[in-house]
Amino acid sequence: MSSIAEISLIKEPDFKKVNLCLLDKEGDWPVQGLGEMPGWIKPDASSGCQLIPFGRGNEQTLVVFLHGKPLENCRKAGAEAAAVLKKWKNTSAVIWSNAGNADMALAFAEGLILASYRFEKYKSEKVKSLKKAEMWHPFVEKKQIKNLNILCGAVATTRNLVNEPASFLTAKKLSEAFEKEAKESGFEVEVLGKNKIQSLKMGGLLGVNQGSDLPPTFNILKYKPSDAKNKKPLVLVGKGVVYDTGGHSLKTGSGMEYMKCDMAGAATVLGVFKAVAEMNLPVYLIGLVPATDNRISAAALSPGDIITTSDGTTVEVLNTDAEGRLILADALAFAKKYDPELVMDFATLTGAAARAIGKEGYVYMGTASESTKIDIRIAGESVYERGVEFPVWEEYGEYLKSDVADMKNIGGAEAGAITAGKFLQHFTHYPWLHFDIAGTSFYEGGAVGYVPKGGTGIGVRLITEFIKNYCA
């Protein structure tokens, strides 16, 4: 389906095969393997990481100086190195590094691997790109390499799902992907069909699904190792709209081809579960993913219709393209049964969030403690998946008042990302954070560093890092 490189740790490199040499500004040149360092190869700490091609006979080596901070510089250098190897038509890499900081070498490897990703399921000719890498470093440990492969593999799984066309990825197929990964990675999945969804009176999910010929699913993921540090679970909720036409509030033609990515929140939840389970992190985790497509038919919701969500809230649907919040409402209400320590939802929810801060970051908001928000910011800076907090002030609730129902599903022209989050807040009575990843989940243009065109895998590295810190 896709291609992403794997990396392994080696004891002694064969310098005849070394094609990536990582140094820091104090590092010693590996005289025994590569001969004398040419005088023209000079470190320049003022310029960020440096990549210098170095020919030696018939061999080509890329000398990389990893200068200082932040680690994102090293990831970007890894992505640049992947591009050079692709140009050289290398499908493997042997990395020698004496950069004293193991984190820098690991960050470089992370960028190298993530940049090697290709979604090739539907291509007749495959791109010749990096398949494997070997690394020698005096301070990098096997477990670190193992976890790096796990993390990058989880990101690749998330990207794959986001890149799948709607002709393949129905709600049922999404559930099958959950079941497959659960079996391989070591967590549990329960898939609820339409009859069970009806018995639970999930009017938001059923309402959005009205226009479709295909049934919805509601997916419950569970990971609970015996050594879990938390008695109350962390709950991850993901928007699983596998294709979004906008319904009767029809989207414009330009950009509709990208609406296969409207289930990126669901894919993020799966990626996190895969990473956490394969790393054997001691955390009790629940995942909730409502899944459907949003289509047009005689049965589809019309603007002005009123639905009732599973907690009894009546909602006046003024815009059928504001459907994600309707299915999330049922999932957030369902989360109450777990008495959760924290709930985090992930959704390509609003164009307003994307317009506010572009593809450089996500919007987040919620009622979680300030210490939790700080931990999210720390994790975000560490993996360079950064967010901007928006408020959920009480006054924004006024935007959602309806004359004929308890709430309406849109607030108006102003503060669209905030009122969408405020709508979701109504269904939460626990510590909660909402992540609007509309601008960051899918790149329509070209690749940016180690983030490819198409599905990005946003949120997997962020939340895995947050959970690792939580478990520490």
Q: Which residues are designated catalytic? A: 251, 325
Give the distance from CA 346 to its chain's centroid: 9
Alpha carbon separation from 206 to 193, 242, 296, 307, 333 (Å, rounded): 11, 14, 14, 9, 15
Q: How far apart are CA 340 and CA 59, in angstroms?
A: 57
Q: Rg for the chain (alpha carbons), in Å? A: 24
Q: How far is CA 122 from CA 1, 125, 427, 454, in A?
A: 8, 9, 40, 14
- Residue 64 identity (one-letter amino acid): V
| Order of all β-strands in the sheet with 20-23 | 6-9, 132-136, 92-97, 20-23, 59-65, 50-56
Preceding peptide of 216 cis, ω within 30°: no
Residue 469 CB coordination number (10 Å): 13
How far does CA 82 lie from the centroid of its chain?
21
Q: Residues 71, 148: contact at Cβ < 8 Å?
A: no
Helix (H, G, I), strand (E, B) or coil at 219: strand
